[in-house]
Each structure stands twice: as C-alpha cells, then as structure tokens.
Structure 1
Amino acid sequence: MPAEQASERKDDHVRLAAAQQRETPPPGGWDDIAFVHHALAGVDADTVDLHVEVAGSRWSLPFYVNAMTGGSASTGDINRDLAIAARETGVAIASGSLSIALDNPALLSTFRVIRDENPDGFVMANVGIERSPVDAQRAVDALGADALQVHINAVQETVMPEGSRSFSSWPASLEAILAAVDVPVIVKEVGFGLSAATLARLADMGVRYADVSGAGGTDFMRIENSRRAGGDYAYLAGWGQSAAECLLEAPADAPTLLASGGVRTPLDVARALALGARAVGASGSFLSVVLDGGAEALITRIREWSDHLTALHSLVGATDPGALRRTDLIVRGRAAEFARARGIDLESLAHRAGGKDA
C-alpha cells in the first residue's frame, strides 16, 4: 500500500475510534462485575502499593497506555502526547502497529517519537502476527522496546477492504516470532477476546503473556466496515467476548494475563485486576482525553486514575493489586450468562474473602 494511502487509513482509524468513544457503550462488559461491599473491610490508603511485575519489569502502576496509532503526521502528534504523559506519570505505553512503518520507513518517526519523548519508560512495540521474525525484531529495535505486542486480528482482517483471509499460517508465524525476538512477547487480540481454548494453545506454544483485549471498547470491525462501500458486514456487530468474560474462563495454566477492551474508569481497572489480570490497558478512553486536551490533560487523568485506584484498593481491603483476587465478586448480566454456558463456578467468586468483613 502506498505511504500516503496507508497514512490516510491510520487517520481514518483515529477519527472513527474517537467517534465510537462519544457513543453510549455497548451492554455487558465491566458493568457485569461488582464487588461485594464489606463495610469494615477497608485498609489505610497509605498502605496500598500499586506496583506490579510485568514482562520482567516492575511497573509503578497496574494500568498502561495500550496500542493505538502511528503512521501519519497527525497520529505522530498523538503519539508524542501519549509518550509525554507516560514519561511524566511513569505508566507503561504500547505503540500502534508498526507494520505501516516497516513497509514505509519514512513513517517510522511517527512511532519513534514514543521512545524519543520517553527515553527511560517501559515501551512496547507492536506488530501483526503475520509479520516475519525479521520484521518483529526490526520493530523492537526501532523503538528500543522493552517488550513486543503481537496482535491477532482475524475479525478486523475479514472486514478490512484490503484485509487478508489467510489465517492458517498464523500459529507457525507466531512461533517463529517467539523464537527470534530478544524481548518478552505479549500476544494480544484487538477487541474480540481470547477464549480459554486460545489461551491454552498460546501457553502450549510457549507464550508467557497475553492481553485478552475483549469486546466493548474500540470496535475494529465497525471501523473497517465504515471503510467499505455499503458497510455490508454490519451484521457482525457484537462479535466476540468481553475482557471480563475472557478472564472468567481463563484456564489456570494460561499465560500471565493482561486485560483491555472498554476500560473507562479506575473501577474497570480494579474489576479486571480482581478477575486475574496482572495489568490493564486503556486506549480509547485515553485517546479521547489527548484529542481534547493534549498531553497535560492525559497526565492529569492518569494521576487521577492512580489516586482513585489507590482509594478503591483501600475501600475493599486490598493492599496491592494481587490482593484484589481475594475479594468477593458478583457476576451478573451477559457475563453471568456466558459463565453459566461455559461451566464456570460463579458462586465461589462471591465467597473468596472467606466471610470476613474486616
């Protein structure tokens, strides 16, 4: 694809993703998960430590700026603001897919700005699962990345006007990338979820980290369908599982899990952590902040999330993110329906604290 046409596509993605953020969120997802309130279970906020271990590094916060964009002048400006916010708050950050820059090196600076503005931060590069091991390492080297996200996007490719329909080679391609790159690999969906069977298969392949990236956030099926004449794939709206559903059914021997997809508030972060995620990614909600107010607005928002997440830990009696996995949870709505159909024991989730109120 010519560089100019590819850049226009990236600008379209941002415009359409921003438009989705202004809509009423779809039903289900994180709102199906509720903490049982125990009025005497709280701890002092100054005893809460939000640090988590991810991909061999210690993150100061259990949430991160997830993969978004790059590949045009305007998206390069967005990446600069995201990187400045990451630098000032210490939050980890992932780039958008570097495939466009691997094919059009003149566009690399729109991604490289993430490292240039954030020289000491934890940065994740991003490529598609179909890229060669050489390309995967090029992406890592281009950003001096600490980890590599490899995204799986069969639904997006199916609807994308210029997309691929050849998926059978993807497992072998992923295995080749795993063997070749010199940083931790995080396999992620792009908003349609990783099922229990997929997570088990990834574990068997040697994948150590996976972002379930479920439905309920930016919908790349809708984005690509908007680029089609006639929008003839509209009937696929709602395809996939929410991140909450993916976490509920994740097998015990799954890779270390990250979660993203429709994360709007610190409460959503806490819900994901309580369901077993090691850390939680946000894209669309942070994109809206940057588009409206630039880096300074996102710095303010991230610091607010950090303060609120500390307060939520204090409220439910968790001194660290891992302790949230011992809190009592109620699962209802679509997530409960999904769990029952998949044979998941929801009653035990509601009694994890052992009946203790303090």
Structure 2
Amino acid sequence: MSADRKDDHIRLAAGQQDDPVRRRGYDDVEIIHHALAGIDRDRVDLSVAVGPWTFPAPFYINGMTGGTDTALAINRALAAAAARTGIPMASGSVGIALDHPEAASSFTVIRDENPTGLVFANIGAGRSVDDAKRAVDLLSADGLQLHLNSVQETVMPEGSREFSSWLGLIEDIVAGLDVPVIVKEVGFGLSAATLGRLRDAGVRIADVAGSGGTDFAKIENDRRGGGHDDYSYLNGYGSSAVQCLLDARTEDFVGPDSAPDFTVLASGGVRHPFDVVKALALGARAVGVAGTFLKVALDEGPDGMVTALETWQARLGEMMAMLGAQTPGALEHTDLLIRGESGEFARLRGLDPATLAVRSREAR
C-alpha cells in the first residue's frame, strides 16, 4: 500500500505541474523597477548562510519522493545533478524506509550519487527521536527536515488524525539530534503564530512551504475516488508562501520575543527564478523547489537537471545585478507592490503592504 501510494503521489504531483490556470501567490508581487539601480554582474554573490551551512545559491532541491523504483530513478537524477552543481537536496519522507527496509535503496541512492554534498533527510512530525536519528543515519544526512502534514493526513484514507503530540515530539527531536532540524509544511503554509510556537520549541529553521504548488489534499482526494467520500472542498486550502512571508512580519512572530537567529525558508509553487527573487525580497533566506524540478527529472534525467540548476543560478545572478542586489539578503531593500489576494491578506492580518513599496527610499 505504501509503495503504491508513493507512485500515486509522483503521478498526480507531476500532473498538477501542467495546470495552466492554478493561482500562484507570486503573481500578486510586483517589483518596482528603478532603471539606474543596477550593478555589475561580477559583483553579485549568490551564496547564502542557512544555519551552519553556506548554500552556493539561494535555492535548494526540496523533498519529493522515495520508496519505489520510480522514486529511485528520480532521486538518482536529482542527486547526481546536486553533486555536479553543489545545490543542496532534501529527500522525500524516509518513513517508508524506516518501516520497510527493502525500500531504503530509493533513498540511500541520494548519498551514493552525492557523497560529499549537502543532504537533508525527511520524516513526518509524528515520529520519535529514535526514528529521527535513524532517518539521519540512513542518509548520513547533514540535517533533518521534519514535515507537518495534518491536512494531508486528514484527507488521506489511511492517514493519522492524532496531532496533539506533534509539538512535544518536535521539541524532543530538536533537543535530541546532533544535526540541525528544519521544520516545514507540505504545501499548506506556516502562519506567524506557528512560526512563533516552533521558535519557542527550539526550532531555528523553518520552511513555510505554502500553497500553490503540489496540492496534497487534492492528491489524497483523487486517490479516494469521489462519491460521498469526497474532500474536494479542501482543494487549494492553505496560505501561499507569499502570504506566509507577509504574515511572518506581523506581531504574531516578530514581537519582542522573536529569536534573532531564526531563519525562514520558503517553498510552494516556485515556477522559475523570478519567483525565487520575489520570495527572497519578502524575507526568505533561501527557496525550495520541488514540483518544477520533479518534471525536469522525470522528462530529462540528470543532464537536464544539471542544465536547469545551472540556468537558475545564472538567471538569479543576472536579475540580482539588474535590481542592484549584491547579495540575496539585499533584495529585502527592493520596493514591492503587493496586490490581489496577498495584499488583502496582509491588510487583514494587520500589515500595511504600502510599507514594502518604499523600502529603497528608507535604505538610502
């Protein structure tokens, strides 16, 4: 059942990437162009510090899959490209390998193909400290992604509905592991209040992982087969990465108790390097990409993935030079117009989006 479910996830997730009308929060973000703001491309430094690591560029391959022969081929392509480019990579959830050791090779191929690169293991938030340690050991991982997926579990026919222990388990895992922990959603977003609870539990890196990309509620509902057992009313549920990054600026998170060393990452529906630029401008330290790279890995293999990763690095450098941003962090001085649903979200959450439209003036 688990292996069949994993292959269903790959098929349905890949199909969602072809939806031309899906709304993305990044489309609500407009960068005000200042035609004389640019700098020389060779002054741009793409590298960024995330926890104890330095990423060569402000994006990474986010957790996707594992547990089947199809997933093994995808992870081999992704890991081989990560090794050749230095881009960090997270695995899909290794829970299936912890429960069924025969599935482990579809995950360990990541480290086999990328023996010295930056690799993150991934498990669900309902797992124990011992499971977390086993996940890290399986991949000789540099860090652990701990994913929150209560919406997916709710719609999943065989899912768990026991969520009250998650925060305590997260706190135990953060304290019990020798590697950093990155807590992430799976596509429904982390609110400012949730970021605050994670911060108070000792977490120092979180990926808001908003809606607009792979919709796991829709995937699990499609597996149900419709009829009276339908959950289609939850399709599109959650907050986009843009909304989450805006929310992270509100008092629910950035109040007097906010940890200065807390790092916010973003993912969810990232289609191209310009979406990365917008997320960085909204305060993300780095940006995870999954569904877009899944299609490349499936259709073009490792060589296509290398080309894609190198192209994304080149385009990011060029756009940062155009915008006058010498580093990814400098993009937080760009002037942004937040329109549409994201602008309304910001206002309803107590944030005046107009403050983001004059940041370059304040930086002078």
- Range class of TM-score, shorter chain: over 0.9
User: Contact between 1:97 and 1:126, CA under 8 Å: does it hold in 2?
Assistant: yes
Q: In the TM superposition, what is the alpha-carbon distance from 1:24 to its structure 2 partner?
A: 1.6
User: Contact between 1:160 and 1:224, CA under 8 Å: does it hold in 2?
Assistant: yes
Aligned match of 1:176 = 172
Q: In the TM superposition, what is the alpha-carbon distance from 1:101 to its structure 2 partner?
A: 0.3
Give me the CA root mean square deviation: 1.2
Gaps of 5+ in 1: none
Q: In the TM superposition, what is the alpha-carbon distance from 1:81 to its structure 2 partner?
A: 0.3
Q: In the TM superposition, what is the alpha-carbon distance from 1:237 to its structure 2 partner?
A: 1.4
Q: For 2:33, give the aligned amino acid.
A: H
Residue deviations 1:258-312 (CA, integer Å, cap 9, x gap): 1000000100000011111110000000000111110111110111110000011
Partners of 1:37 and 1:290 in 2: how far apart? 34
Q: In the TM superposition, what is the alpha-carbon distance from 1:152 to its structure 2 partner?
A: 0.2
Q: In the TM superposition, what is the alpha-carbon distance from 1:55 to its structure 2 partner?
A: 2.4
Other structure's SS at 1:193 match: coil
User: Contact between 1:186 and 1:209, CA under 8 Å: does it hold in 2?
Assistant: yes
Match of 2:278 among 264, 271, 278: 271
Aligned match of 1:144 = 140
Partners of 2:24 and 2:66 in 1: how far apart? 30
Q: In the TM superposition, what is the alpha-carbon distance from 1:179 to its structure 2 partner?
A: 1.4
More moved, 15-24 vs 27-36: 27-36
Matches within 5 A, 1:305-320: 305-320=312-327
Residue deviations 1:138-165 (CA, integer Å, cap 9, x gap): 0001101011000000000000000011
Corresponding position: 1:246 with 2:244: yes
Partners of 2:24 and 2:64 in 1: how far apart? 23
User: Contact between 2:333 and 2:363, CA under 8 Å: does it hold in 1?
Assistant: no
Aligned match of 1:117 = 113
Q: For 2:140, give the aligned amino acid.
A: G
Q: For 1:36, give the aligned amino acid.
A: I
Partners of 2:85 and 2:358 in 1: how far apart? 36
Aligned match of 1:337 = 344
Match of 1:64 among 44, 47, 60: 60
Q: How many residues align?
A: 353
Other structure's SS at 1:353 match: helix
User: Contact between 1:25 and 1:216, CA under 8 Å: does it hold in 2?
Assistant: no
Corresponding position: 1:290 with 2:297: yes
User: Contact between 2:111 and 2:119, CA under 8 Å: does it hold in 1?
Assistant: yes
Matches within 5 A, 1:1-358: 5-230=1-226, 232-250=230-248, 251-252=253-254, 253=258, 255-354=262-361
User: Contact between 1:258 and 1:279, CA under 8 Å: does it hold in 2?
Assistant: yes
User: Contact between 1:28 and 1:333, CA under 8 Å: does it hold in 2?
Assistant: no
Partners of 2:362 and 2:126 in 1: how far apart? 49
TM-score normalised per structure 1: 0.97
Partners of 1:79 and 1:221 in 2: how far apart? 23
Residue deviations 1:221-241 (CA, integer Å, cap 9, x gap): 000001113260001112110
Other structure's SS at 1:162 match: coil
Other structure's SS at 2:197 match: helix
Other structure's SS at 1:347 match: helix
Cα 1:356–1:187, aligned 2, differ >3 Å: closer, same or farther?
closer
User: Contact between 2:24 and 2:269, CA under 8 Å: does it hold in 1?
Assistant: no
Partners of 1:329 and 1:136 in 2: how far apart? 40
User: Contact between 1:28 and 1:334, CA under 8 Å: does it hold in 2?
Assistant: no
Q: For 1:335, give the aligned amino acid.
A: S
